[in-house]
Chains A and B, each alone.
Chain A
């Protein structure tokens, strides 16, 4: 390890060390893997969510169309948001097992105890 500053006992890693971890292929792979899931997922749920007030606000006649009995499109679309949220959360939790494993490997490879600050 390249100690440019005198080591602090609670934080044995210097700024250079942190930057080395950040630049390491393992860490880059972790961040890339997370982004591949989180960015599209976030764009999706934001669009899906705002489609509801936009449709309800600007196309109320269309949304009042009844589907089953008196149940209209507006209510079904609102209800579908709950299932969208649950499904996306489930997919994220399933994916994140791999993120946890990648993160654990990076922490183990450091072989130092870093105190919180």
Chain B
């Protein structure tokens, strides 16, 4: 326990040092919000990976595979393939045509105030969903490691450290925290995978034999059962399992390209080409990580077993418990510290994207009609927002306590992003006729329908659920698309159509794109 605390403190000290260094360089809006657009391709690739491989991936997926086998691995697949949507459709046009936020592209040819207000609302919603999942993970981890420290105190301390990174260091500090975390997470994951294979004598045959005969106690009957964990259907059961799986797949595949904290990362690089290179770096790292969840998740299922995990902190703790069983106390401490680092880095990324959106979209462009603000004003508003967003998510996490599986909570954030954000981004880049009414109607239907479907799903209402699926994407994504199309067809906006040429020329050629500033 003391070793864990020391490793955790070491990470916090190093990253606070980075924040101190970054604070000296983060002068002005562009420096604060986008690290002066000076991050290189591989650095941004690592930072995207660090922003993306959250507590949901590391703790949640390992737990999901440990508990449900193959069905948990389905999350891993969707989380990588989704980057093809980012690479092929979104990253480069966004970098070429935008400045600080996702809404810059939407507002380019549409009426700025309604579109930005709506985009800020959906950004804050997605970020909050996502952040609560991270906070729950942090609390669960601490209550396992240090039984003396209550869940609430753990959540508040993670929240405060994250606020320090964002308020003082801005995007530059956040980026480096994410890079350090990505390197730590990858080394921990690779080492843990090697330990799992060593346990099976480096024999894939032994490993897969063990996966095919996982023994655990059935919680409803109390009898011992033997299951093949490579067999699909342990989580997604008939009659609605298959639809739920497809619905989840839609949210993952189309949600990633609508996640505000991932999209803002493409503004931190000098140009669209670097944005593309960074997506490819991210895909290599993220893909490798998710393939390795095979060893982490199935390793936990076979070496520890479901019963042991349930009695020692629950599914979210599978990865640290596995490290403890295979590598002893020091490795357990290291993996726990990596999980802390993971949570801190993701939460910092979420906070900076939420506060950037509030300051740039809502404060400057909605409240002040886009009039230039006094120097430093936008940054000051963003800093205040960081405190508010941090406080809000700490509060929700404390209310929810450590019950929910964090991968599931994040799945819901993806559903909202896929239903509300992606249709608007794609239509504004590819459909000349698309207009303000369409954008606002689409985002509003996508956002409300996904939230309502979540509230009436089995996850919230149990057996009496009105909507039979846990994942709303299969219905809310088409509704978001439909809202955009109907809204567009109901009105005409000649000014938006007239600016389409300018937008596509900028988006495809980079003519007039934001340049890097030396710092």
Q: Is the CB of B253 within 8 A of A42?
A: no
Query: For residue A42, which residues in chain B have a CB less than 8 angstroms away from its CB?
Result: 84-85, 88-89
Query: For residue B504, which residues in chain A have a CB less than 8 angstroms away from its CB?
Result: 22, 31
Q: Is the CB of B512 within 8 A of A11?
A: yes
Q: Is the CB of A81 within 8 A of B81?
A: yes
A26 to B205, CA, bound (A): 56
Tell yes or no: B469 within 8 A of A by CB: no
Number of A-B contacts (CB under 8 A): 157
Residue-wise, chain B 102-134 has the 8 Å CB interface mask toward A (1 for contact) of 000000000000000000000000000000000
- A window 57-75: CB within 8 A of B: 57-58, 60, 63-64, 69-72, 74-75
Q: Is the CB of B74 within 8 A of A31?
A: no
Tell yes or no: A115 within 8 A of B by CB: yes
For the residues of A in contact with B, the DSSP-based class is helix
Tell yes or no: B273 within 8 A of A by CB: yes
Query: For residue A58, which residues in chain B have a CB less than 8 angstroms away from its CB?
Result: 242
* Total count of chain A residues near the partner, CB < 8 A: 56
A116 to B514, CA, bound (A): 5
Stretch at the interface among B176-184, B189-197, B284-292, B442-450: B284-292
Q: Is the CB of A69 within 8 A of B498?
A: no
**B153 → chain A closest CB, angstroms:** 40
Q: Which of A49, A58, A60 has the most CB of B within 10 A?
A: A49
**A63 → chain B closest CB, angstroms:** 6
A75-B73, A117-B512 given; A54·B246 CB < 8 A: yes
Q: Which residue in A18, A79, A100 is a CB contact (below 8 Å) of B501? A: A18
Query: For residue B228, which residues in chain A have a CB less than 8 angstroms away from its CB?
Result: 64, 70
Q: Which of A13, A56, A70, A107 has the most CB of B within 10 A?
A: A70
Q: Is the CB of A110 within 8 A of B511?
A: yes
Query: For residue B304, which residues in chain A have a CB less than 8 angstroms away from its CB?
Result: none
Query: For residue B88, which residues in chain A have a CB less than 8 angstroms away from its CB?
Result: 38, 41-42, 92
**B430 → chain A closest CB, angstroms:** 10
Query: For residue B509, which residues in chain A have a CB less than 8 angstroms away from its CB?
Result: 27, 30, 103, 106-107
**A19 → chain B closest CB, angstroms:** 4
- A window 17-54: CB within 8 A of B: 18-19, 21-23, 27, 30-31, 34, 38, 41-42, 45-46, 49-50, 52-54
Residue-wise, chain A 78-93 has the 8 Å CB interface mask toward B (1 for contact) of 1101101110111011
Query: For residue A75, which residues in chain B have a CB less than 8 angstroms away from its CB?
Result: 70, 73, 230
Query: For residue A70, which residues in chain B have a CB less than 8 angstroms away from its CB?
Result: 208-209, 211-212, 228, 230
Q: Is the CB of B212 within 8 A of A96?
A: no
A11 to B506, CA, bound (A): 12
Q: Which residue in A46, A53, A100 is a CB contact (below 8 Å) of B74? A: A53
A75-B230, A103-B509 given; A56·B245 CB < 8 A: yes
Q: Is the CB of B205 within 8 A of A50?
A: no
Residue-wise, chain B 241-255 has the 8 Å CB interface mask toward A (1 for contact) of 111011011000100
Tell yes or no: B161 within 8 A of A by CB: no
Q: Is the CB of A89 within 8 A of B253?
A: no
Query: For residue A84, which residues in chain B have a CB less than 8 angstroms away from its CB?
Result: 81
Q: Is the CB of A64 within 8 A of B211?
A: no
Tell yes or no: B360 within 8 A of A by CB: no
Q: Is the CB of B273 within 8 A of A100?
A: yes
A40 to B283, CA, bound (A): 20
A92 to B85, CA, bound (A): 12
Stretch at the interface among B231-239, B380-388, B484-492: B231-239
A27-B508, A30-B508 given; A74·B232 CB < 8 A: yes
Tell yes or no: B83 within 8 A of A by CB: yes
A107 to B211, CA, bound (A): 57
A58 to B211, CA, bound (A): 23
Query: For residue B84, which residues in chain A have a CB less than 8 angstroms away from its CB?
Result: 41-42, 45, 85, 88-89
Question: Taking beta carbons and an 8 Å cutoff, which residues of A are in contact with B?
Answer: 11, 13, 15, 18-19, 21-23, 27, 30-31, 34, 38, 41-42, 45-46, 49-50, 52-54, 56-58, 60, 63-64, 69-72, 74-75, 78-79, 81-82, 84-86, 88-90, 92-93, 96, 100, 103, 106-107, 110, 114-117
The 13 listed contacts between A and B (C-beta, < 8 Å) are A15-B499, A15-B502, A22-B501, A42-B84, A49-B78, A69-B205, A70-B230, A89-B280, A93-B277, A96-B273, A103-B510, A106-B509, A114-B512
Question: Taking beta carbons and an 8 Å cutoff, which residues of B are in contact with A?
Answer: 70, 73-74, 76-78, 80-81, 83-85, 87-89, 99, 204-205, 208-209, 211-212, 228, 230-233, 236, 241-243, 245-246, 248-249, 253, 273, 276-277, 279-280, 283-284, 287, 290-291, 498-499, 501-502, 504-505, 508-515
